[in-house]
Chains A and B, each alone.
Chain A
Amino acid sequence: MTRTTTVVIGAGHAGLAASHFLSERSIDHVVLERGEVANSWRQERWDSLRLLTPNWQSRLPGLRYEGPDPDGYLTMGEVTEFIERFAKVSRAPVRTGVNVTSVRRTDDGYHLATSDGEITGRAVVIASGACNRPTVPPLKDAVPAEVEQLTPFDYRDPTQLPDGGVLVVGASATGVQLAAELQRSGRPVTLSVGEHVRLPRTYRGRDVLWWMDASGVWDQRYDEVDDLTRARRLPSPQLVGTPERTTLDLNALAAMGVELVGRLAAIRDGRALFSGGLRNVFSLADLKLARLLDTFDEWARTRGRDAELGPPERLAPTRVPQASRLQLDLGSGEISAIVWATGFRPDYGWLDVPVIDEKGRLRHDGGVVDSPGLYALGLPVLRRRKSTFIYGIEDDAREVTDHLTGYLAARH
């Protein structure tokens, strides 16, 4: 049995940032990691993936990108190295290869069962990630057996897939990236599109995420957001990090030959049925993008930044296909594989504390979980809009660790 003051679960950027601030406050702690440091980045990402944030935003407490290409995007190998370097620099007390199998509340804290024995701590920080499992809708069961099904966790590169057409379901960052890569590999892609977030890669000569940061959109706090539940459920934006800094919206995909269809609504008698509401999801995304660009322009104008930026731009509306198909016969041989890019969810199967809501989400207020001494980091809009980005963890980790420090002090 190990006793410590605070147990951090997960040695990704979030858990290591928590460790950094705990060390700064001389709070005795241990970071438990089921695999290696930055495990999800090593094991659960496809080969071509790069970060969505530009390199100059690759920043963790006390560490920043100092390479030659501030406007580029880190590959997965480079992200892994960056996080490993952070673990070394901050001398995080990481125990790798330790799988947490249960967390229970006790009279004076928490009891953890792990693959490497039992641990108790007065406080626990859950930093195990927001994307532990791919979310796949139940209608997967109705897909004919001859069609191969993959999640982004299974996917590494196009050669894994059979030749022939691919139906990619979902048009967030994952869906648009995989659709583009599969289309380029010679597999005709049909992309099923529901509500989505459209963003250009660059706007007025700057990375769109520079704008999100500079204009203060990313700093909007969770307690200032109109509809927090909705903000936390927002799909990831249609972005890709490439050396060419290209925009990967639906117009770009259509120009590559990707066929756009509506949201996958049902599979009936082996036929995929798509929503006829495609036009409206285009309108919603286009209108939302126009409002965001208005916000950027307004910020630039009132802050006197117009001179250093290109002129305001407006993007062409998302082009509605002449006739989008409402049905696709999955048994016809046209489609060889389906890729479910339908989102990810955290896994709290090991958490034996009643803090999970009916939708499987952790109940927390800005990372302060609904159980004394229990905290969370690295979830969408945890404390700010930038919370899930590597760049966004520093402020969150500092504030959550502050709360934790206060909690420990009050219980002395």
Chain B
Amino acid sequence: MTTVADNGVNVQALLDAREVLKGAPEAAQFTWRASAKWQSGVHSTIKVQSFFGLGEEQSHKAESVFEADHPEVFAAEDNGITPIEYLIVGLASCLSAGVASVAQNRGIQLHSVEATVEGQHDIRGILGADSDVRNGYNDIKVTFHIDADASREDIEALVAQSQKRSAVFDALTNPTNVTVEVA
């Protein structure tokens, strides 16, 4: 490769952080937060701004507000996307960020990266219509279309490595302890 790839990812900062955090595991402990407020029906508004990391309180530059509801075929008002759709929003964005970071680290120039995600969901689970059907996704498929200065094998390797280092891929493919309580 004759030119230096620039995908807009500051890989050096990430590599530096990796070295620093190797010796400071406590600083690597992050807490992500979201707070939801029920509106009406199955519509909630979720706000995200603060988080904790590197040993102190942190904040996004601005608060993000998300509306979650259900579509009209669910007899709802459709004020926003369905909660389970937020999961695939997270997966697509996490894997895309991974592709960009890994490409930068490997000196691969990206021209375009598009991902489409399809999650197969049998809603008889959440409706309680069949106790053998699970509530969540049965299967999720992500399809990447990537234009980059690299061979098909190198692009496949980017996508494989992005899954290997993806927080959301891990969260969806492996069990996580979840505690829900009434304060």
User: Using a CB–CB distance below 8 Å, which chain A residues touch chain B?
Assistant: 195, 262-263, 265-266, 268, 273, 275-277, 280, 283-284, 287, 290-291
Taking a contact as CB atoms under 8 Å apart, the answer to whether A290 and B174 are in contact is no
Taking a contact as CB atoms under 8 Å apart, the answer to whether B174 and A265 are in contact is yes
Out of B153, B169, B170, B173, name the residue touching A287 (CB < 8 Å): B153
Cβ of A266: which chain B residues have Cβ within 8 Å of it?
174-175
Q: Kindly state whether residue B160 has any CB partner on chain A within 8 Å.
A: yes
Helix, strand, loop or mixed for chain A's interface? mixed
Closest 9 CB pairs of A and B: A276-B173, A277-B173, A265-B174, A280-B163, A283-B160, A266-B175, A273-B175, A284-B160, A275-B173
Known: A277-B163, A277-B169, A280-B163. A287 touches B156 (CB 8 A): yes
Out of B164, B169, B170, name the residue touching A284 (CB < 8 Å): B164
Taking a contact as CB atoms under 8 Å apart, the answer to whether B174 and A283 are in contact is no
A292 to chain B, nearest CB (A): 12
* Docked pose: A265 CA to B173 CA in angstroms: 9
* Docked pose: A326 CA to B90 CA in angstroms: 22
Question: Knowing that A277-B169, A277-B170, A287-B153 are A-B contacts, what are 16 other residue pairs whose CB atoms are under 8 Å apart, sorted by A's residue number?
Answer: A195-B164, A262-B173, A265-B174, A265-B175, A266-B174, A273-B175, A275-B174, A276-B173, A277-B173, A277-B174, A280-B163, A283-B159, A284-B160, A284-B161, A284-B164, A287-B156
B26 to chain A, nearest CB (A): 13
Q: B148-183 interface mask toward A, CB cutoff 8 Å, 1 = contact, 0 = none? A: 000001001101110110000110111100000000
- Number of A-B pairs whose CB atoms are under 8 Å? 37
A196 to chain B, nearest CB (A): 13
Taking a contact as CB atoms under 8 Å apart, the answer to whether B164 and A280 are in contact is yes
29 contacts between A and B (CB under 8 A): A195-B164, A262-B173, A265-B174, A265-B175, A266-B174, A266-B175, A273-B175, A275-B173, A275-B174, A276-B173, A277-B163, A277-B169, A277-B173, A277-B174, A280-B160, A280-B163, A280-B164, A280-B169, A283-B156, A283-B160, A284-B160, A284-B161, A284-B164, A287-B153, A287-B156, A287-B157, A287-B160, A291-B153, A291-B157
Cβ of A265: which chain B residues have Cβ within 8 Å of it?
174-175
Q: Which B residue's beta carbon lies closest to that of A281?
A: B164
Cβ of B170: which chain A residues have Cβ within 8 Å of it?
277
Cβ of A262: which chain B residues have Cβ within 8 Å of it?
173
Q: Which B residue's beta carbon lies closest to that of A290?
A: B153
B177 to chain A, nearest CB (A): 9
* Docked pose: A273 CA to B176 CA in angstroms: 11
* Docked pose: A276 CA to B142 CA in angstroms: 14
* Docked pose: A291 CA to B159 CA in angstroms: 16
Cβ of B173: which chain A residues have Cβ within 8 Å of it?
262, 275-277
Cβ of B163: which chain A residues have Cβ within 8 Å of it?
277, 280
A264 to chain B, nearest CB (A): 10
Cβ of B164: which chain A residues have Cβ within 8 Å of it?
195, 280, 284
* Docked pose: A275 CA to B175 CA in angstroms: 8
Q: Which A residue's beta carbon lies closest to that of B134?
A: A326
Cβ of A290: which chain B residues have Cβ within 8 Å of it?
153
Cβ of A275: which chain B residues have Cβ within 8 Å of it?
173-174
* Docked pose: A277 CA to B174 CA in angstroms: 8
A217 to chain B, nearest CB (A): 18
* Docked pose: A276 CA to B156 CA in angstroms: 19
Cβ of A273: which chain B residues have Cβ within 8 Å of it?
174-175
Cβ of B175: which chain A residues have Cβ within 8 Å of it?
265-266, 268, 273
B9 to chain A, nearest CB (A): 19
* Docked pose: A44 CA to B36 CA in angstroms: 56
Most A Cβ at <10 Å: residue of B159, B164, B172, B175: B175
* Docked pose: A268 CA to B177 CA in angstroms: 10
B110 to chain A, nearest CB (A): 18
Q: Which A residue's beta carbon lies closest to that of B159?
A: A283
Most A Cβ at <10 Å: residue of B156, B161, B174: B174
Q: Which B residue's beta carbon lies closest to that of A276?
A: B173
Interface residues of B in 109-137 (CB under 8 A from A): none
Taking a contact as CB atoms under 8 Å apart, the answer to whether B160 and A276 are in contact is no
Cβ of B161: which chain A residues have Cβ within 8 Å of it?
284
* Docked pose: A263 CA to B169 CA in angstroms: 14
B125 to chain A, nearest CB (A): 14
